Amino acid sequence: MSQTINYIQRLTNIPSPTGYTTEIMDYVAREVTSYGYQANRTNKGSIMVTVPGTNDQQHRILTAHLDTLGAIVRAVKPDGRLKMDLIGGFVYNAIEGENCTIHVSKNGHNISGTILLHQTSVHVYKDAGTAERNQDSMEIRLDEKVSTEAETRALGIEVGDFISFDPRVVVTASGFIKSRHLDDKVSAAILLNLLKTYREEKIQLPYTTHFYFSNNEEIGYGANSNIPEKVVEYLAVDMGAMGDDQQTDEYSASICVKDGSGPYHYELRQHLVSLAEKGNIPYKLDIYPYYGSDASAALRAGSDVRHALLGAGIESSHSYERTHIDSVQATERLVDAYLKSKML
């Protein structure tokens, strides 16, 4: 697991809110090229790595997405602070008090700041605890000597500049991994580690397989294009959602039976269950009620594939997230077992 954990730490520390993913895609391209693979770029900026298999008549595709939640500058306020517009599906409460970085497009500079409620101080504002957190009440306090709109604009900041949130990656002695953006950089780390392992150990997969690192999943249309015609099976490696009425935990692989798009392919799901049971891999079956994936986006776009979804269990998804090494390991083992198995 050490190499996968290293990848998780590296990936989570590279800012990549949807729409601002060039740096992380360049990193992945360099990494897979160093293994001896070819990194094929799509027009949207995603990366496809094709691994030839024994059978080239039927293909598989696996996806993990590298884009994350984030924000974009909405306006510069008269006092020099920033209003923001959210990128991805989350609430302002999840980022209150978070440090962030504004990526200034005019000059390439990065400027740090903190996301706060306008009326934060309980010594001044009576409604500090009860005020609704929304686009009008939340703002970014810049770590610069600015108190007017003109002074902030003099830094080069403009509407449309991307904002990334500090990941705060921590790996505890007890095996927990805490960070923002574990969705879906855990899965991307797993795919990178498997690609590296297959090349080093000269493992040939039974079917030609495409490893697709997408960069638009958080806004709903990640890997819904560029799917080769021979692809029969589509496995989205994403995250398992935890909460009330959920079976998913932080110590198993989570196999999704249904999300907001509808049920996943029953036979392919059962195939994953069978592989987990044969391999003594801890797993949970679950429904993610407010969720979509690269695979569901592909089906909406008209792809004729069998689709499935699995991932590590992520606690507090779309906030300051957490998982455990046990869940990462179970997920990696199940993906590996699937890639080496026969198709339905």
Which domains are seen in the chain, by residue range? 2-68+181-339 (3.40.630.10), 70-165 (2.40.30.40)
Residue 85, marked binder: no
How far is the C-alpha of 183 from the C-alpha of 94, rounded, in Å?
A: 14
217 catalytic? Reply is: yes
Residue 218, marked binder: yes
What is the distance in angstroms between the CA of the first residue and the CA of the last residue of the chain?
29
Nearest to 340 by CA among 204, 163, 196: 204
- From first to last of its 344 residues, what are the pLDDT tens digits of the chain? 899 999 999 999 999 999 999 999 999 999 999 999 999 999 999 999 999 999 999 999 999 999 999 999 999 999 999 999 999 999 999 999 999 999 999 999 999 999 999 999 999 999 999 999 999 999 999 999 999 999 999 999 999 999 999 999 999 999 999 999 999 999 999 999 999 999 999 999 999 999 999 999 999 887 888 899 999 999 999 999 999 999 999 999 999 999 999 999 999 999 999 999 999 999 999 999 999 999 999 999 999 999 999 999 999 999 999 999 999 999 999 999 999 999 98
How far is the C-alpha of 41 from the C-alpha of 282, rounded, in Å?
A: 35
How far is the C-alpha of 3 from the C-alpha of 223, rounded, in Å?
A: 26
Residue among 217, 233, 250, 332 flagged as catalytic? 217
pTM of the predicted model, to two decimals?
Answer: 0.97
Cα 202 to Cα 29, 134, 224: the distances in Å are 20, 52, 31
Cα 339 to Cα 195, 208, 343: the distances in Å are 11, 10, 9
Residue 65, marked binder: yes
CA count, 13 A, side-chain hemisphere, 70 = 30
